[in-house]
Structure 1
Amino acid sequence: MDPPCPLSARFEGSFAYVTVKDRLPQILTKVIDTVHRNKHKFLEEYGEDGIEAEKRVIAFFSKLRNEIQTDKPILPLADDQPDVQIWNDYLHYQKSLMDDGGEPSWFKSPWLYVECYLYRRIHEGIVLSPPISEFDVFREVKNDSFFQSQGAVIALCTYLQERKKNIANLSENECREEFSKLLQVSLWGNKCDLSISGGQDNSQKSSILNSLEAFKPNILVDNTESLWEILSRNKGQSNGEASTRVDVVLDNAGFELVTDFVLADVLLSLKLATEIHFHVKSIPWYVSDTTKHDFDWTIKQLLGANNRWMSKCGAQWKENVQKGRWVYHEHLFWTLPHEFFRMAQTAPDLYSELQKSSLVLFKGDLNYRKLTADRKWDHTVPFSEALTTFHPAPLCSVRTLKADVQVGLTPGLGAKLAESEPDWMVSGKYGVIQFSAPV
């Protein structure tokens, strides 16, 4: 049974309407500029075929931008990728929901759907333009974001390596404090989201470690203790038989990915987990979302860095991958428009995979929107209720607020925040570490 009515199902006058009108064309403009700036690279690699492909891509994206700005109907996908039928079936489903029997369009369809659809259409434009059909239009900004965060990356790698020197001798309380601290680092690393900034520089310039105490009041829900209880049960049972698996559904590449790697490192070092499974996007997505290339590239950059603590982290993390302590997964479900409560039906193999986990961490705002089906829930509705039927394993959302949906708050808190800060749900200032366990 479906949850209550969709959030911003019709956009007139809403936050989502303004975002479709402004942010999505802005992202496309930057994509067009990126493709054009790589014209000489395409010529060098592919000759005139590369130039012709560049022209086709720019024409495709310019047409797509016009479709958005003039509220044209949503079109079926026309490439040969394995998810085409799923997307086109979903468009048919959206059409069945139209009150007036009309066609779903950019301004008259659910915000979550059209936003996901934009990125799938961007992928379509590249796929249909060989020989540049493997080009990641967002790779440059993702890489730049990483390099612009070097100071913060160095500080975090230095802290981790210094702390690990004595990690075997930490008391139970000290272990708990380290886990909590680096979980918060991973939370605030989520502030660096290029899809929210329209691709503008949003890198982390200074060490988050120095800001954790100041940020603490901004954590609206903090269920860290529940995570600690689950993970500490099997602490020290790494005898070759017992295993504790933690899954991390990643969000952004760049600095946030480094914070996720650091947290994963500490989970293994503290023996709170024996294996970490990372879930990445199978195509370029939401400007800065992590792909397999971003995952491997980040480790390679750290390994080759001219800083001993960064390079040591890179070496250890590469070894974790090689020895199977870190495993990454790609699945096309993460780049579909479906809410997560549909996973068991749409992607039963992925749902079964998550059921093997002791704890699943969902990073970021998009994952939260899909966890809660992007519905207009009352702020006090329990997180577990907003998940509806999605309960593959104990799970936690680690997210800074950048979209107008939030559940699980204490009575009155949402109204109080709205009175003092009207943009509290979209500013990225506030965060949650929000847990739910299957009943």
Structure 2
Amino acid sequence: MSTTSTRPDSQSQHSSVHSETVRSAVNISDDEEYSTKPEFIYGGPFIKVEKPCPFLNTATPMNVQLQGTFKKSFAYYSLKERLPIILTKVIDYLSREGSKIKSANSASDEDIRGYIQYITKLKNDLVTNKKYDLLTVDTPEARKWNEWISNTENQYYFTNIWVFSECYVYRRLREGCELSKGLQNFDPFDEQKEQSFVNSLEPMCVVADKLMTMLPPSDKDKRKADFMTLLKICLWANKCDLSLSLGEQVTLNSADGSSGVKKIIDPFQIVNDLKDKLLVDDTAKISDLVVTKAEAVARAIEGCCEEAKPSEEGATEGEAQQVPCPGKLTVPPAVMFDVVCDNAGYELFADLCLAHFLVSQNIVKKVRFHVKRIPWFVSDVTPRDFKYVIRSCAQASYSREVPMESKPEGEAEAAEPEGLRSVNSNNLANLGGIWRKLVDDGTFVVMCDDFWTSPHVYKDMKQHDPDLYRKLQFAVAVMFKGDLNYRKLLGERNCNPTLGFEAALQGFTPAPLIALRTVKADLVCGLPKGKWEQLNGIDDKWMEKGDYGVIQLCAKTEALRASERPCAPGGEVDDV
């Protein structure tokens, strides 16, 4: 999105945006004049009092946080068009599949009607820019939300920061279920996520076949090349985002062959085809850092274990087995890699493949997956989605055979019948079974802290959730997936696109950070000089479509010190 047409001073711009004059509910339209109705002034006639319009016909100025007041911004379009459509589709789903939803959730007609009415009001409040309602459920997390709402400077959908308003809408969508007796466990996006998984079976089968050749111990050069390839598979899997597509199914591109038969979808070929769309590629640096840091952590853990060994005399069995308080550790308890997940379905499958590779190559001992506790942004991973993907992989049944125009590069001539390429789910099912065991033995850990569904940007994590910040400090590296995480990493700020990734993080450095993101909102950092202007010249909507991607690394990290706070619970999900 081009911002060159209007770049006022950010402070004065910010003041006008947050003027008290916005504190009335207005129906947003492109051709509307914003002014008060004639008011009676004591001692004088009716007069028309003009007030400044909070909506500006410009893109988001540089170094200003994204919000719906800038009418040429993706934030404005998202609040005005995308979110209302997403809410409408939930209403349609409830109306169309009411009987099935009632049966699956032991819900009543009144539950369905009540939820539809609740969403309808939420949608109307959004499109008319009403003031936020406080949550009415009485839980510690809901009380925190009400405190955040009350403390925010602007409590209206379009004039507050975009990420706050978006998160608020999805939190309210969840509250509608919490207020219903029969819909406590209902996910309004379950049908869309399950269909997305089914639609992605073929590329998952192709990746599973290739992954099996990457898992056996390999030499340093092959291990690095495979690591880099899997990072790119994880990146382009982020294209499958049901929030961006308004709930419409998204699949990877696959052109038809000359025979008219749809080609097999090969994500590895897609990685090669999209190499010019990868705007920042830190994969080599990431591979080197993760391996080096993991080896250093392993040595530190081994050294601590040696020091902690009790002397042969005088130590009791209880003393020898005592586990130190996590808050007092200055060395991580294990060599861990963290994934802050984005979408379920094919993207989560790709993340699991990378995690399996890291464990199989003995780079790390444990991978922690941070997921959302509640349904979020249509297709974000919840604990139930995590379980569903692994179970569905293990039970997968898929097979297709198509004519080949030519053999894939490096493929043995005798691998398949001449002129045919086939794909099936045998290896995918095997992987699903292995992943189930890795979850059971604690190698894969699922965590869902409330902070991930809060409206806060990540530079404020230490203030709002210091326990989660410390958990992240134990990781060799933390990989953040997708656009929402990227926006929160950058503080929802439209920074200069050439600003370095480390500077854009504004001090958020709990561990080395990796960002994998296809560009779906109008903010970005770390681009080569002139690249942003070049892409704007080609397509001024390029930042909204997910056609380009970045893989970025910030190696800077805050030292792990003993905490002065009491030890906090681990946050693992026990029933995955």
TM over 0.5: yes
1:148 to 196, 199, 222: 199
Equivalent residue letter for 2:379: S
The answer as to whether partners of 1:119 and 1:286 remain within 8 angstroms in 2 is yes
1:10 to 53, 69, 75: 69
Partners of 1:45 and 1:89 lie apart in 2 by 35
Alpha-carbon deviation of 1:21?
1.1
1:384 to 477, 502, 511: 502
Query: Deviation per CA, 1:268-326, whole angstroms, max 9, x where unpaired?
Result: 12222111010000000000000000001111111112332111001111111111111
Partners of 1:46 and 1:146 lie apart in 2 by 22
Say whether residues 1:196 and 2:244 are aligned partners. yes
SS of structure 2 residue aligned to 1:359: strand
Partners of 2:105 and 2:297 lie apart in 1 by 54
Query: Deviation per CA, 1:205-243, whole angstroms, max 9, x where unpaired?
Result: 622111111211111111112211222224599799484
Alpha-carbon deviation of 1:198?
0.5
Say whether residues 1:280 and 2:371 are aligned partners. yes
Aligned ranges 1:33-432 → 2 under 5 Å: 33-44=92-103, 50-94=108-152, 96=153, 98=154, 104-164=155-215, 167-168=216-217, 170-204=218-252, 206-233=265-292, 234=294, 241=302, 243-306=334-397, 307-432=425-550
Alpha-carbon deviation of 1:204?
3.4
Equivalent residue letter for 1:29: T
The answer as to whether partners of 2:203 and 2:267 remain within 8 angstroms in 1 is yes
Change in 2 beyond 3 A, CA 1:236/1:339: closer
Equivalent residue letter for 2:390: I
Count of residue pairs brought into register by the alignment: 426
SS of structure 1 residue aligned to 2:540: coil
| Structure 2: gaps (5+ residues) | 1-61, 254-264, 304-333, 398-424, 558-576
Alpha-carbon deviation of 1:408?
1.1
Partners of 1:227 and 1:160 lie apart in 2 by 19
Change in 2 beyond 3 A, CA 1:151/1:430: same
- After alignment, is 371-380 or 77-86 more displaced? 77-86
2:88 aligned residue = 29
Query: Deviation per CA, 1:162-187, whole angstroms, max 9, x where unpaired?
Result: 443xx32x321111110011110000
Partners of 2:461 and 2:443 lie apart in 1 by 26
Partners of 2:144 and 2:104 lie apart in 1 by 34
Alpha-carbon deviation of 1:410?
1.6
Alpha-carbon deviation of 1:417?
1.1
The answer as to whether partners of 2:343 and 2:379 remain within 8 angstroms in 1 is yes
Change in 2 beyond 3 A, CA 1:184/1:43: closer
Alpha-carbon deviation of 1:85?
2.1
The answer as to whether partners of 2:336 and 2:364 remain within 8 angstroms in 1 is yes
Equivalent residue letter for 1:419: G
Query: Deviation per CA, 1:420-439, whole angstroms, max 9, x where unpaired?
Result: 12122121111111111225
**Identity within the alignment, %:** 37
SS of structure 2 residue aligned to 1:277: strand
1:101 aligned residue = none
SS of structure 1 residue aligned to 2:389: helix
Partners of 1:195 and 1:46 lie apart in 2 by 24
The answer as to whether partners of 1:186 and 1:260 remain within 8 angstroms in 2 is yes
TM-score by length of 2: 0.71
Change in 2 beyond 3 A, CA 1:303/1:46: closer
Partners of 1:9 and 1:63 lie apart in 2 by 20
The answer as to whether partners of 1:303 and 1:314 remain within 8 angstroms in 2 is yes
Partners of 1:86 and 1:406 lie apart in 2 by 30
Query: Deviation per CA, 1:228-271, whole angstroms, max 9, x where unpaired?
Result: 12222245997994842100000000100101011111111222
Partners of 2:222 and 2:244 lie apart in 1 by 36
The answer as to whether partners of 1:187 and 1:431 remain within 8 angstroms in 2 is yes
Q: CA RMSD in A?
A: 2.0
Alpha-carbon deviation of 1:345?
1.0
Partners of 1:202 and 1:86 lie apart in 2 by 35
SS of structure 1 residue aligned to 2:522: coil
Equivalent residue letter for 2:191: E
Equivalent residue letter for 1:140: E
The answer as to whether partners of 1:11 and 1:107 remain within 8 angstroms in 2 is no
SS of structure 2 residue aligned to 1:349: helix
Partners of 2:349 and 2:547 lie apart in 1 by 20
Partners of 2:446 and 2:188 lie apart in 1 by 22
Change in 2 beyond 3 A, CA 1:5/1:148: same
The answer as to whether partners of 1:42 and 1:50 remain within 8 angstroms in 2 is no
The answer as to whether partners of 2:500 and 2:526 remain within 8 angstroms in 1 is yes
Alpha-carbon deviation of 1:42?
4.7
Say whether residues 1:20 and 2:82 are aligned partners. no
- After alignment, is 372-381 or 268-277 more displaced? 268-277
Partners of 1:235 and 1:312 lie apart in 2 by 29
The answer as to whether partners of 2:495 and 2:524 remain within 8 angstroms in 1 is yes
The answer as to whether partners of 2:240 and 2:347 remain within 8 angstroms in 1 is yes
Partners of 1:40 and 1:27 lie apart in 2 by 21
Alpha-carbon deviation of 1:15?
2.5
The answer as to whether partners of 1:5 and 1:375 remain within 8 angstroms in 2 is yes
SS of structure 2 residue aligned to 1:76: coil
The answer as to whether partners of 1:249 and 1:280 remain within 8 angstroms in 2 is yes
Partners of 1:397 and 1:43 lie apart in 2 by 40
TM-score by length of 1: 0.92
Equivalent residue letter for 1:71: N
Alpha-carbon deviation of 1:114?
1.1
Partners of 2:534 and 2:101 lie apart in 1 by 54
Pair member with larger Rg: 2
2:317 aligned residue = none
SS of structure 2 residue aligned to 1:358: strand
Change in 2 beyond 3 A, CA 1:36/1:13: same
